[in-house]
Amino acid sequence: MVAPELVERVIARALARGGDLGELYAEDRHGFSVTLDDGRVEDPRAGAERGASVRVVRGEASYFGHVDGTDEASLMKVADSVAQAVRGDERRPAALGAVRVAQGHPVTERPQGVAAARKAELLRECDERARTAGAEVAQVSVGYMEERRLVEVFNSDGLAAADDRTRVRLSAQVVARRNGASGPRVETGTDTRGGHAGFELLSGDPGAVAESAARKALTLLDAVDAPSGRLPVVVGNGFGGVLLHEAVGHGLEADAVQKRASVYAGKLGQQLAAPSVTAYDDGRRTGEWGSDGIDDEGTPTRRTTVIEDGCLTSYLYDLVRARADGVESTGNGRRQSFRHLPVPRMTNTYFAPGEATPEELIAGVQRGLYAVSFGGGQVEPATGDFVFGVSEGYLIEGGRVTAPVRGATLVGNGLEALRAVDGIAGDLRIATGYCGKAGQTVPAGVGQPHVRLAELTVGGTG
């Protein structure tokens, strides 16, 4: 997209008043989305953006500017404005290497080549499947989105890298309604399928996504109020991994750690969980939602073991924080778009599978909660305190899953939750999440096999 000769001049201009690192990030982005609501296909939306950002890092400080467009005048102007903020002597950048194109993730059927009508058809098929799941299904909304990002990163260390990223995602939300003596009862179920992949991801039974959302909503119609108190909790595979993402993962991001704004600061090498617990952040996992070829600073993505046999083994780094700690970047420097500074972010974060089966984990609980999936969650990385809303949950009584519950929340602390892990099953699955931090949203894979926590605070409604 940007000619190497121009890149060299832009980076040189950015370093006119010094800096340890000068960087140009350029991006060409095309997206399309369409939704179905109440049986109507609506809001087809197409977008095309091209832009670039320039960053200069000097000591602990980052200077940053971005611009729409990648023409010479715009790039030189933004390089100038960034350089103006730096106080130092000119630095000469290293010569650029040849552009290294990242090993991508397989895309069999380019979404851009698929007719929009076929995408609308897909939404109608999902609508139909959800509605036939039960007479109490009252509303169905389905969303389809595709995105292609062509990313180029260059820096004053001679780095030149490119990545071609395609993502698709299908999501369904179903509302079920039942009229009872004490007024109507309304419940919502959701499900998604997405990946760093092409349209082929949706070729095998896409209606199953809508049917699963419908089943969740219908099940909740029979839900009883959630119990309160300290209880054993079995967390479901797939999206259940959001607990690890929020309560542990954010605290391992090196920006939080270096500011001592993480409970995990200073705990490297310490035993934080039982020896059966191992966890990864893996941006290379083929076709997963949070995977890329390189991160947004040009570092190849990789698998980082963050917890090994219960011991904290690594934090998650971008270039700036890696340099401060004298280590290599772990390929976690991510940004939402060319409009944002890269910060350490998770890619796909998950617990390694264990030996147990989900049934065995549940059989070991006399009275507890089976939290299959969460509606979302929030954590304060500095304290590790977290809250999660359980979107699909059941009581466990006498080692068996019994009635569905509604309105449960899990409240606790990341360190406490890690210590409480006392069983891990073998059924690893990774789900599609959107992770927000520092005003930026990036796709993040959250996952795990079934995991049991010996005790956690459950805030119920009963």
Partner 1 sequence: MSADLEALARAGVEAALAAGAGEAEAWCEDTTSRQIRVYDGAVESLSDSGGRGIGIRAFLDGRVGYAYGTDLGPEGLRTIASTAASVAAVADPDEYAGLPEVCGATPVEGLESPAMAGFSTERKVELALAVERAARSRPGVTQVENAVYSDSEGAAAIANSGGFSASYATTRAWAYASAFAGDGEDLMTGLGVGLARDPAALDPEAIGVEAAERALALVGARQPPGRRCPVVLDTFVAASFAGFIGGMLSADSVQRGRSLFAGRQGEEVAGPSFVLVDEGCHPDGPASAPFDGEGSPTRRTSLIEDGRLAGFLYDTRTARKDARETTGNAGRGYRSAPSVGATNLLVQPGHASLAELFAQAGDGLYVTDVAGLHSGVNPVSGTFSVGASGRLIEGGELGAPVREITIAGDLVGMLRDIAAVGSEDRWVPVAGSVRAAPLLLREMAMSGS
Query: Site mask, partner 1, residues 77-116, x = CB under 8 A?
Result: -x--xx--x------------------------------x
CA–CA dist 342, 326 (Å, integer): 19
- By CB under 8 A, residue 315 contacts partner 1: no
Site size for partner 1 (CB under 8 A): 79
Amino acid in position 128:
E
- By CB under 8 A, residue 250 contacts partner 1: no
- By CB under 8 A, residue 32 contacts partner 1: yes
- By CB under 8 A, residue 158 contacts partner 1: no
Three-state SS for 4?
helix
CA dihedral 344, 348, 354, 360 (to 10 degrees): 120
Query: Site mask, partner 1, residues 419-458, x = CB under 8 A?
Result: --------------------------------------x-
Residue of the chain from 19, 22, 65, 433 that contacts partner 1 (CB under 8 A): 65
- Are the beta carbons of 265 and 445 closer than 8 angstroms? no
Nearer to partner 1, 3 or 411 (CB): 411
Three-state SS for 341?
coil
- By CB under 8 A, residue 305 contacts partner 1: no
Stretch that binds partner 1, among 64-72, 158-166, 274-282, 363-371 (CB under 8 A): 64-72
Nearest CA among 249, 244, 281 for reference residue 264: 249
Residue of the chain from 134, 178, 228, 422 that contacts partner 1 (CB under 8 A): 228
Give percent helix, percent strand, percent coil of the chain, each to the nearest 5: 20, 45, 35
Residue of the chain from 156, 413, 432, 448 that contacts partner 1 (CB under 8 A): 413
- By CB under 8 A, residue 388 contacts partner 1: yes
CB of 264 to partner 1, least distance (A): 12
- By CB under 8 A, residue 37 contacts partner 1: yes
- By CB under 8 A, residue 188 contacts partner 1: yes
Nearer to partner 1, 7 or 176 (CB): 176
CB of 159 to partner 1, least distance (A): 20
- By CB under 8 A, residue 313 contacts partner 1: no
CB of 143 to partner 1, least distance (A): 13
Unique residue bearing structure tokens 């974060």: 349
What is the SS3 assignment for 39-98? Answer: CEEEEEEEEEEEEEEEEEEECCEEEEEEEECCCHHHHHHHHHHHHHHCCCCCCCCCCCCC
Within 354-383, the residues that bind partner 1 by CB under 8 A are 374-380, 382-383
CA–CA dist 277, 356 (Å, integer): 13
Instruction: Indicate the burial class of 203 (C-beta count within 10 angstroms; 0-12, 13-18, 19 or more).
Output: exposed
CB of 85 to partner 1, least distance (A): 5
* Alpha-helical regions (H) of 104-146: 116-131
Within 124-153, the residues that bind partner 1 by CB under 8 A are 138-139
CB of 86 to partner 1, least distance (A): 9
Q: Which two tokens stand for residue 142?
A: 């389905």
- By CB under 8 A, residue 5 contacts partner 1: no
CB of 65 to partner 1, least distance (A): 5
Sign of the CA dihedral running 213, 218, 221, 223:
negative
* Helix (H) / strand (E) containing 243: helix 242-244
